[in-house]
């Protein structure tokens, strides 16, 4: 059973839902960078204010900052963990790899939730978050295509990538993920 898992896919592909389901059924730590950043915003820390400003512009938070948060959350957990929404680019993937080597917790499997752009836009608008306007969604999707899609090849070359058709019902997706984890 694989214990160090990454979910990759565009915003709204269902990474959070699938990571949460898997986390609950296996008692793994679920690290959603989005949730970690939103928590900072809710606590209204100076970091949270910076993060809020960046997110409201549809941009992404700095690599160093996100890696620092991820590392401090990974450090003490050896039961298993799921990363959701990070890394987002090749530079982050390389930095993360270094940290995982230091912690002796290498990535074992990457689930790529693949879904058409128009399906995503409808999904995100229905989600109803304040920062989810069609304009910011399209901006985030464009950034995703430029920066995150090269990760698909990166993880495929490392023989870690598993494709998942995410334009289906969440239970079907969840059961396919569990089968591929064995």
Residue extents of the structural domains in the chain: 4-181
- What's the mean pLDDT in 78-99? 91
The number of helices, as runs of H, and strands, as runs of E, in the chain is 9, 5
Superfamily of domain 4-181: P-loop containing nucleotide triphosphate hydrolases (3.40.50.300)
Q: pLDDT band for 77, please (50, 70, 90 cuts).
A: low
Tokens linked to 144? 């995703």
Q: Using CA of residue 41, residue 45, residue 51, residue 52, what is the dihedral sign?
A: positive
User: What whole-number distance in Å separates Cα of residue 143 and Cα of residue 89?
Assistant: 10
Model confidence pLDDT, tens digit, residues 34-75: 788 888 899 998 888 988 988 888 887 888 888 877 887 786
Q: pLDDT value at position 75?
A: 65
Q: Does residue 98 carry a pLDDT above 90?
A: yes
Give the rounded percent of residues in the chain with a pLDDT score beyond 70. 98
Model confidence pLDDT, tens digit, residues 135-159: 999 998 888 889 888 999 999 999 9
């Amino acid at each position: 059973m694989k214990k160090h898992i990454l979910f990759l896919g565009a915003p709204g592909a269902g990474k959070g839902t699938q990571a949460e389901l898997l986390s609950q059924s296996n008692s793994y730590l679920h690290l959603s960078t989005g949730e970690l950043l939103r928590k900072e915003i809710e606590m209204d820390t100076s970091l949270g204010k910076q993060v809020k400003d960046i997110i409201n512009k549809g941009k992404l938070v700095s690599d160093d900052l996100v890696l620092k948060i991820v590392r401090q959350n990974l450090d003490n957990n050896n039961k298993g963990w799921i990363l959701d929404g990070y890394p987002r680019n090749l530079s982050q993937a390389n930095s993360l790899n270094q940290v995982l080597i230091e912690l002796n917790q290498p990535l074992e499997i990457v689930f790529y939730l693949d879904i058409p752009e128009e399906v995503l836009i409808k999904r995100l608008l229905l989600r109803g978050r304040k920062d989810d306007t069609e304009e910011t969604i399209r901006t985030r999707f464009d950034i995703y295509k430029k920066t995150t899609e090269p990760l698909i090849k990166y993880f495929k070359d490392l023989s870690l990538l598993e494709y998942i058709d995410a334009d289906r019902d969440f239970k079907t997706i969840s059961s396919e993920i569990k089968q591929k984890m064995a």
